[in-house]
Amino acid sequence: MTKDYTELAQDIVAHVGGKDNIAKLVHCVTRLRFTLKDESKADDDYLKQRDGIVTVVKAGGQYQVVIGNHVPDVYAAVLKVAGISGDGGVDVDEGDVPKGNLLDQFISLVSGIFQPMLGVLCASGMIKGLVAILAAFGVKDTAGVYIILNAAGDGLFQFLPIVLAITSAKRFKMEPFTAMALAFALVYPNIAASFAKGSVDFLGIPVVFPASSYLQTVLPIILTVWVGAKLEHFFKKIIPDVVKVFLVPFCVLLITVPLAFLAIGPVMNYASDLVGLIFTFLYKVSPILYGLILGGAWQVLVMFGLHWGLVPLAILELQQHPSGVILVATIAICFAQAGSLLNIMFRTKEEKVRELAIPAFISALFGVTEPAIYGITLPMRTPFIMTCVAGAIQGAFLGLVDVKMFSFGGMGLISIPSFIAPSNSWNLIYYLIAIGMSFVLGFILTQFITIPNLYGEPKEEKAADEKAVPELKELQQELIASPMIGEVVALDNVPDEVFASGAMGKGLAINPSDGTVVAPSNGEITLVFPTGHAVGMRTENGAEILIHVGMDTVSLAGKGFKSFVEVGQKVTAGDKLLEFDLATIRDAGLPVITPVIVTNSADYDDVLLTQEVRVNIGDYLMTTVR
């Protein structure tokens, strides 16, 4: 039965300065992490002496109250006492853009925004592929089965800004319904027709509305929600609480929606027009150069919505002439994504990536590449670059042999009829060669790169010599094996005063050289932290072991970590508990040193430690004695 921590929680809240002094509260595996408005109001001495609290630490702008393994229960009690909304989770700051260069930040931002919707994005792409197959077999677009399935597959893509508003709101810490209202304004059904009637201005400022509307677009809504989130945070600070619930969204909508139509959208439109002018000039200079550059840049242009500068020109070209060349270099690029995905499916060791790649592969064959790009190749980065290279080569080839398209049809496999020339069979043959070229290049170029991990799963299988360690027992003592490979570090050298002081228990630390953690003994899992950076177990003889990978790694929010066990699971010495990516931790500037602690050391007369300077998995690490 869970112990009642209400009295402890009341004491903690009162002595951190009261609930009004708490700006934010999260927890990690051993401690409550407060962000206080004024740390001087906290009573350090009282909290350090209070039963149920190990100690107090101030670090990284946080006021940390160290509790121990039962911190989730205390956290829940504090939330209730202080009246703070929370889900018992960890500090996952969705609003923070990852560090790195601008390209890294952009890729991480867009990938993170698309991540929650990848499953349904893949499913919708597959239905669009099915509709394309029906059309290829002669099903009319007026047939009920075509109309309904087309709505099922294309609906998500048409109203993508609304879905992106929800995920962007989470990323930028904005109220989701306010963000959705911004998206509804951009895709409002009658607004395109209203602007089409003639020039429109807003308080004397002309409104430039894209002929293609904001349906299916990505960046305009992301930028709009970002601006709206900034305004919302500002208005929440200055508007009184009594009217905040309706006046904050009122002010945000009143300012952000006009900004979206007057500034954000038009900037994208002008950039699209400029792209159209540049590529029209390039084609006049050299069709080969045109195909090379457009084929290589097309996917990036689509991501930014800049491709709309070419699409209207291509439609107009086919209306005025029997054939066109403007978009020829772009139609078969989806097969480069398909080829790259096939390679990734064969080589990845991540089951989740393989599961996403299969429907994304099918969608790509029919020209729907959003699941492939945003779900897999763009987050992996290098595979996406390889597909751009493949697109450039096939584009140059199409420009060299002067392939033309004769109708504005679909993408992928369904585009093939658009290249059937009335009196030139080579036109279709060359296009089919470009399809094969794009697919093969996408596959082969991806073969030359390392397939990175997206979800923290292993890059390599565990070495054959990492064998399970048999349990060793002696009367009144228990031998604990090393759960990791690395250099042994004395506990007082750990860069965290809670662990270094022994407040959490006796033990030592390992500076790991490999990202695998195994069970150091037979026993039962008692703790698996949601972010995967810490795991606890109780051995057969009662020793409670805590393995905490790195320092402050809770801030990574699970990035680079993967757990293989759950609470209550029985394990045998040598069973894999978790894996982590050393590079991810180091890139974040965090120590990788990993304490291995006997948290119930008080139940033992002593905990004897190894004298070795380096250990492998399964080597002797410590002995509990009583």
CA 128, CA 368: separation in Å to the nearest integer? 8
CA 245, CA 424: separation in Å to the nearest integer? 66
CA 171, CA 91: separation in Å to the nearest integer? 14
When pLDDT is averaged across residues 144-156 and rounded to a whole number, the result is 89
Report in angstroms the alpha-carbon separations of 229 from 112, 171, 246, 262, 383.
17, 10, 15, 18, 33
Quote the pLDDT of residue 93.
Answer: 39
The pTM score is: 0.50
Q: What is the CATH number of the domain that holds 594?
A: 2.70.70.10
Residues 204 and 345 in one domain: no
Task: Give the DSSP per-residue string, 292-325.
Answer: HHHHHHHHHHHHHTGGGGTHHHHHHHHHHSS-B-
Residues 137 and 169 in one domain: no
Report in angstroms the alpha-carbon separations of 447 from 22, 342, 425.
52, 10, 33
Torsion angle (degrees, nearest 10) of CA 240, 241, 242, 244: 80
Q: pLDDT per residue over 292-306, tens digit each? A: 999 999 888 877 766
Whether residue 362 contacts residue 346, with contact meaning beta carbons closer than 8 Å, is answered with no
At residue 109, does pLDDT exceed 80?
no
Q: Cα-flanking dihedrals φ and ψ of residue 240, to 5°?
A: -60, 145
Reported as a pLDDT band with limits 50, 70 and 90, residue 94 is: very low
Residues 259 and 316 in one domain: no
Residue at 95 is within a domain: no
Nearest to 9 by CA among 80, 63, 94: 80
Residues 526 and 621 in one domain: yes
Residues 547 and 581 in one domain: yes
Residues 398 and 477 in one domain: no
Of 30-34, 208-212, 447-451, 484-488, give the range with the top mean pLDDT: 484-488
Token representation of residue 311: 């699409």
Catalytic residue among 28, 122, 334, 388: 28
Residues 340 and 204 in one domain: no
Of 105-114, 461-470, 526-535, give the range with the top mean pLDDT: 526-535
Mean pLDDT of the chain: 83
Whether residue 443 contacts residue 341, with contact meaning beta carbons closer than 8 Å, is answered with no
> Quick check: is 251 catalytic?
no
Q: Cα-flanking dihedrals φ and ψ of residue 577, to 5°?
A: -100, -50
Q: Residue 34's domain spans which residues? A: 6-82
Quote the pLDDT of residue 4.
Answer: 81
Residue at 600 is within a domain: yes
Residue the block writes with tokens 């008692």: 526
